[in-house]
Structure 1
């Protein structure tokens, strides 16, 4: 097949340059690095050959050391394998930097500069321009950064990557060489488990170095191109933040850590402002601005370097002074340097004194326990029956009186009850220092009934909040297939509730609902998870429109395809008329943050993609994106069959043992990657419902089997062909953006799979048949996806993305062989304690490298 233009550019600008710059590692002044770099190509070739021959990891590694007898002892061999891992980790960083530096040159085909093209096309079309401006007046994209542990670059490494990007763009070999030396000396892993505050500080790097600049630039571009006032369009790009606020299943998040993170975000923002203000002050040295300049100097400096315990929201004060400076420049100084004042003014209007909204999240079961505690301690004051938790749903709703009280939690309370009470009170303080936008949302995980939301509202009213000043949005999170099925009924009950209806009216009749992809994929498999969420969106939109509620969907989907990610913008662009799409909100998690938003170029591209998707789904909606009843019935059946296939796998008695024994799942709990435990109820034996979705997906991706991203799809498509529905499915793929993206993301997940690496498992006495079952579904799914898409290889329609994935998979192949070698050694029970520790560390290190290289690993 003829190579496309973009493929050829990718080959020249990325793959060829990677091979050239990779040789620089050999010139680094570290002897051990040089030795490692010389041997690694031979080891990589041995791994590649051995995997093709379906050899065991033991056989592959033994054959390598048989050829290099200088590594005769176990200790020498383990040491070399560690050095291979460290070397490959740094090769991954180099590849990241080269790929990102070439981002604009390589291009992304039809996705390239779509927002700019749309706005340019509206220049001569007054009607189109009016529609776009009207849409933008009440539209926003909110990116919510989460601390899910799927990317492990520490801040210093991220800084090196960005500096490398700049040096590679200009072919500055001297700087590249120095940066690679720095990289060689910079540690990649934390010695200690990070705290929630550590995680917040790590993610704040992206806020300070990427989003602060890009959000303002995009806003400025739209304002200028459409000739609209910033205040007219309001805030197009919003940011959300979970580290320090997300306490669901994370006992390490406390009131104190939430308070520290809120203060950290405010301080970092003011330091960004102060840096910009110094430029303003250096350029604007004219008369008439002295008073305003002094005011701003004091405001920015004191809040940056001498923050007080209880700061106030200074947004209006800053804006007033900046506007005063702008007026003086325009009236007396010919508008000289007014553009740098406008730039800072736009940033202050975008970020205020909060930078990003700090979301609070907790499980509904914890919130119920907190409600029950206050009832038991204050039954007479609350007027709620002592057996409240035992009541049926209707009686629970009647029992809540919504009294305004200020109840305290005693020392006898459970720690999580104390935390719930404390954070509800803390939210008032955070809002005082940064407006309600600093922290306005409380997300209820595992939300199953209307009383979960009503009960949380009651907790606020028992904690000193007043009904007419309750500036909090209560956000139910529906994740499991069953919860998604009930979601519309839950919301109908809420919309009908007199008290909640009054609360919504005070909040502008706007309701945010979060839909989670991670646990739904683990719960029902890829096809059922995606379809359940899509169907729930249709039902929730209908109910919300019936009650005249402005519905905002917040999607927990910004990771790999197996967790709802992939070509995310294509999902949003394909929402039919039956789905509310006035706002786009999604979580950005793990390596997706660095891969899609780690540099100015990639962040600008991906944010503009989402903005374009939101506009185009409203203005130029394709007929096929609103599914017909027949099409919905077809997908219903496909999802049902896929679900049955996935549940057969899940209920197999070998399912969890296979994951625990053959993947690095156990190692995930022992490495310092996150403040959050790998599973809920960590003190008891592993159960699937306790296993976090992130650990579930990561384990399958380390096996290079990616079951959550495809399993059951092939079986469902095969049924469609056998039952004379194949033409209907083909038509769905052509006409429905939702279905096409669903299938294309499935292909992406499968492209990142490689069953050859674990082919040796088919001979395993315990798990051989289980592995064959997984592989058979992979084969049948691949066959039908290629048939459906009319292509000869997976991701043929996305050649650049495909080449990037395959290159990365090639880089980490030796890591995977080492990882499986170490897992098998640990499973053998032939190691002493010291050896077990060495092999455990080896597994941990390979996990880091494989995930960092994966960029949406599954």
Structure 2
């Protein structure tokens, strides 16, 4: 991190990244500057001894990359290191990772600006490129209107144990980004560098993470910060621009009556395996979100009143605006009709906030006026102001702040974002069984066969009577579950139906699993099926997670929709049914290739089910940040969906450090939100699969490959004796729970079975140890066996190459796998394997991992024809080359501290050091869990 940072000596980088030195020099210059300032800060704050240790670690890490020294020599540098010295070294490399993220983001902006300035065509994944493709397709207006009816793109923010950065660090990093952005425009003034030094000093002197266990309230705050940082500004802009662009192309179609971009959240509503979610937490999550929305509106109304200063002596107004302002009796505003109208709007919104929020709002205005009952009433008043401005020569004013406020209200309402509820089907079964026993409906619901369960549940749903009343002697679990659902019902009543749009059923395996959730919604007053026009503002969403569940998901939905009562509920929601697909558990269950193909097959089956039952299907993709949990470039992933799987609607989870990487500030957020919308429009309106008559053959090949991959994966994970012991010893998975990382336990149940372990710690642990096993294992064996078992090996290779050339799904699977392999490092993984005391077990399992890793890389090169794993991703190639030597010390220090912690060293600094290394590696890898 000194001035001669070796990041500026990219040996072979031009060949590996296929990007010339001239193109990447500005980024390296940024990294050099930030690294040098960080190094100066460390020297000033801790002296030469600590600085020299950090610098030596850096230099030795680059020597490892150049194969000048063995890794064991670098590991020896940290063996026996005093924990007081280890902490600043860990913090140094962690903070460098954060600063490198800034440099890379600025460089991407710089490159895009160069492309635009050169007059080059817009890049794929931008809305401009998508519009050009739509124009070239000459689409029929009726088909466009039908395809985009009910269009929705919804990134759903979820919690993640490695996203533990405090708000101060988050804000400081944002200020550094702004300063580097100014510098990138050519402003290299001394003032900017001085301010960079102040910000980096602030970040260095601020604790990166909390020492106490992360609470759900902390996670709620973390999720909401992205609204203030970017979403409140960017989402309304994108919605308005997309609507205008589509309506310009198809003016006769009533497109996007509702905003297409509508964000969601799981934080505070997802109680699957998280006992810390309570009714109070649901109220906090929905209430805090609403407060963010109202605070934004009050700030905007205050500014709007200040700006609309027109005098009645100089402008005319509509009768509606004149009537609206009559309740403002401020003499100073007697001649300012628009200010009077805005003050009345402000006062009525204040009355709304006072009544529905748990805390009195800032910037309120009390005029003793009645509240708005719905956001639509508020919007109607703002629309009246808009009409008056446009009708009397003030359209430019209507197009400014007022337009942004109206657009924000359309998407954020009084609720800000929809909070999904989620619980495991096993819990539903237990609670419903208890409710039925208490009410005398049936003494042993759990003992019934599926058909008997369905009959009993339908009978209960057809009545309005409650199952319980005051004083019911229910278990703690049943009371808690009912209270949570009632808290959700309160949010719907107070903030509107968009406040809690969905109830997700984890591990959904049957029709009764759907109906059990419906019974709980009915008990809370959120469902009434006893009327000709059923009421259910909350969608019942099955989550199919394991490979077996994915395979039978369409059958479950077909059976449910055959029930008149359930079909009536779906009809009441516009014949729309959402289904969630679980990427994480399917991967943990069957491995990377098998899970990806099971998901694709499930989507094909669900699309056909929707066609046959004449419903509108919306798929909700439970993607994590890492490829092992469905991650990877969003644009490619959406285009790789089967035909008919998107249909104008897409919901997907966004998690952890990936959220910060995508949405931490407006420019990043705009680019990534555009990508989601662009891909959704293309997948909906264009043929993106491209297989044609080759589809059946392709599907048969993938059926074969997936079966082989799943067997290879199962042989290691599920059938190798001692594998769980190896996993627990060779990764920090135990410490993820023991060191209170995240607000939820690492397992759904208190067992050590892989099936019960939550997907985030499963993937996170393999990422930390640099094996990245969930993102590739089994795939190499599948390809090798497929080629070897065919009648002609050369023909088998050509079949796979043809799939790679023609099929976006297959190309994306290989590209994402290559990214994971590029980030893996089995040399470092070997250091973690040394934590396994059973030598025979260590050699057995790690030997299998090494063999499959080598095999998978060979097969990737054979199929793609590329000897560079990142040939199709030069940006990631630059990132890997520039920053990965800085990860090396974090991995070695993590292994050293894990060894001490497990041997009984109870030094608080050892525990803090492990937590810091986890956070640092997650920040550097940017998609670790």
* TM surpasses 0.5: yes
1:21 Cα offset (Å)? 2.1
Q: What residue number does 2:54 align with?
A: 40
C-alpha distance in 1 between matches for 2:890 and 2:593: 31
Distance 1:183 1:8 in 2: 31
Paired residue secondary structure (1:289) = helix
Q: Quick one: structure 1 residues 206 and 653, their matched pair in 2 at CA, closer, same or farther if it must change by over 3 Å?
A: same
Partner residue of 1:805? 880
Aligned to 1:818: 893
- 2:475 corresponds in structure 1 to 414
3-state DSSP class of the match of 2:605? helix
- Listed as ranges, the gaps of 5+ residues in structure 1 are 66-73
- In the alignment, the residues of structure 2 paired with residue 667 and residue 213 of structure 1 have an alpha-carbon distance, to the nearest angstrom, of 39
Whole-angstrom CA distance in 2 between matches of 1:248 and 1:10: 47
Confirm or deny: 8 A CA contact 2:593 2:710 kept in the other structure. yes
- What residue is the counterpart of 1:261 in the other structure? 285
Corresponding residue number in structure 1 for 2:27:
14
Report SS of the residue matched to 2:156: strand
Q: How many residues align?
A: 839
User: Aligned match of 2:454 in 393, 397, 403?
Assistant: 397
Match of 2:591 in 1: 525
Q: Which residue of 2 aligns with 1:699?
A: 765
Do the aligned partners of 2:148 and 2:647 also contact (CA within 8 Å) in 1? no
2:635 and 2:892 mapped to 1: Cα distance? 35
Residues 425-473 of structure 1: per-residue CA shift (max 9 Å, x gap):
2222211222111112110001111101012212222344422322221
Alignment check: 8 A CA contact 2:124 2:130 kept: no
Indicate if the aligned counterparts of 1:313 and 1:433 stay in contact, CA closer than 8 A.
Answer: no
- Map 1:257-656 → 2, pairs under 5 A: 257-286=281-310, 287-301=336-350, 308-309=357-358, 313-339=373-399, 340-379=401-440, 384-400=441-457, 401=459, 402=461, 403-406=463-466, 407-408=468-469, 410=471, 412-464=473-525, 465-467=527-529, 468-577=534-643, 579-622=645-688, 624-625=690-691, 628-650=695-717, 651-656=719-724
> Which residue pairs with 1:199 in the alignment?
219
Q: CA distance change for structure 1 residues 443 and 786 in 2, over 3 Å: closer, same or farther?
A: same
Counterpart-to-counterpart distance in 2, 1:41 and 1:375:
67
Q: Name whichever of 130-139 and 315-324 sits farther off.
A: 130-139
Distance 1:642 1:557, change over 3 A: same
Report SS of the residue matched to 1:238. Answer: coil
Partner of 1:71: none
Structure 1, residues 762-787: CA drift from partner, whole Å, max 9, x if none? 78454023111101100010011112
Q: 1:31 aligns with which of 21, 27, 45?
A: 45
Work out whether residues 421 and 503 of structure 2, in 8 Å CA contact, stay in contact via their aligned partners in 1.
Answer: yes
SS at match of 2:749: coil
Alpha carbons 1:162, 1:599 under 8 Å: kept: yes
Retained in 1: the 8 A contact 2:246–2:255?
no
Q: Does 1:169 align with 2:186?
A: no
Q: Which residue of 2 aligns with 1:663?
A: 731
- Secondary structure of the 1:566 match is coil
Partner Cα separation in structure 2 for residue 31 and residue 484 of structure 1: 55
In the other structure, the counterpart of 1:731 is 802
Cα shift at 1:222 = 2.1
Q: Give the Cα–Cα distance (whole angstroms) in 2 for the partners of residues 580 and 738 of structure 1.
A: 14
Deviation string for 1:572-597 (max 9, x for gaps)? 21333353543111000111101122
Q: Deviations over 1:220-255 (max 9, x none)?
A: 222343455998542110111111100000000000
Three-state SS of the structure 1 residue aligned to 2:395 is: coil
Contact 2:163 2:657 in 1 (8 A): yes
Deviates more, 1:320-329 or 1:641-650: 320-329
1:222 corresponds, among 242, 247, 261, to: 242
Give the structure 1 partner of residue 328 of structure 2.
none
Question: Structure 1 residues 293-302 or 359-368, which shifts more?
Answer: 293-302
Residues 148 and 256 of structure 2 are in contact (CA less than 8 Å); yes or no, is this contact kept in structure 1? no
Alpha-carbon spacing, 1:411–1:689, altered in 2? closer, same or farther (3 Å): farther
The answer for the alignment partner of 2:858 in structure 1 is 783
TM superposition shift of 1:104 = 1.6
SS at match of 1:474: strand
Aligned match for 1:679, one of 747, 763, 787? 747
Which 10-residue stretch deviates more, 309-318 or 324-333? 309-318
Instruction: Name the CA shift for 1:410/1:777 in 2 (closer, same or farther; >3 Å).
Output: farther
The answer on whether the counterparts of 2:61 and 2:885 sit within 8 Å (CA) in structure 1 is: no
The CA distance in 2 between the partners of 1:233 and 1:462, in whole Å, is: 33
CA distance in 2, matches of 1:133, 1:102: 39
Q: Secondary structure at the match of 1:151?
A: coil
C-alpha distance in 1 between matches for 2:868 and 2:31:
25
Residue 105 of structure 1 corresponds to which residue in structure 2? 110
Greater shift, 123-132 or 149-158, is seen at: 123-132
Say if 1:33 and 1:87, in contact at 8 Å, map to a contact too.
Answer: no
Residues in 2 aligned to 1:772 and 1:416: alpha-carbon distance in whole angstroms: 45
User: Which runs of structure 1 show a deviation greater than 6 angstroms over 4 or more consecutive aligned residues?
Assistant: 51-58, 123-126, 128-131
Q: Which 10-residue stretch deviates more, 313-322 or 546-555?
A: 313-322
Aligned-pair CA distance for 1:826: 4.2
Work out the CA distance in 1 between the residues paired with 2:619 and 2:177. 35
1:306-363 per-position Cα deviation (integer Å, ceiling 9, x unaligned): 8645997531222122112112222335335111211111111111111110100000
- What do the CA deviations read for 1:56-101 (whole angstroms, capped 9, x no partner)? 9775343578xxxxxxxx6x73221111011112112211222222
For 1:716-740, what per-residue CA distance to the aligned partner results, in whole angstroms no more than 9, with x for missing partners? 1111222232211111111110111
- Paired residue secondary structure (2:690): helix
Match of 1:80 among 85, 97, 100: 85
Cα deviation, 1:646-669, whole Å, max 9, x if unaligned, reads 001012122111121121111111
How far the C-alpha of 1:619 sits from its partner, in A, is 2.8
Which residue in 1 is equivalent to 2:74? Answer: 60
Q: Does 1:184 align with 2:204?
A: yes
Q: Using a 3 Å threshold, how does the CA distance of structure 1 residues 264 and 299 change in structure 2: closer, same or farther?
A: farther
Stretch moving more, 737-746 or 454-463: 454-463
SS of aligned partner of 2:755: coil
Partner of 1:157: 169
1:54 and 1:525 mapped to 2: Cα distance?
Answer: 36
Which has the larger displacement, 419-428 or 261-270?
419-428
What CA deviation, in whole Å up to 9, does each residue of 1:616-637 have, x standing for no partner?
1233314634662221111111
CA distance in 2, matches of 1:594, 1:280: 31
Please provide the CA RMSD for this pair: 2.7
Local SS of the residue matching 1:427:
helix
Q: Distance in 1 between matches of 2:493 and 2:355?
A: 18
1: CA distance, partners of 2:352 / 2:218: 21
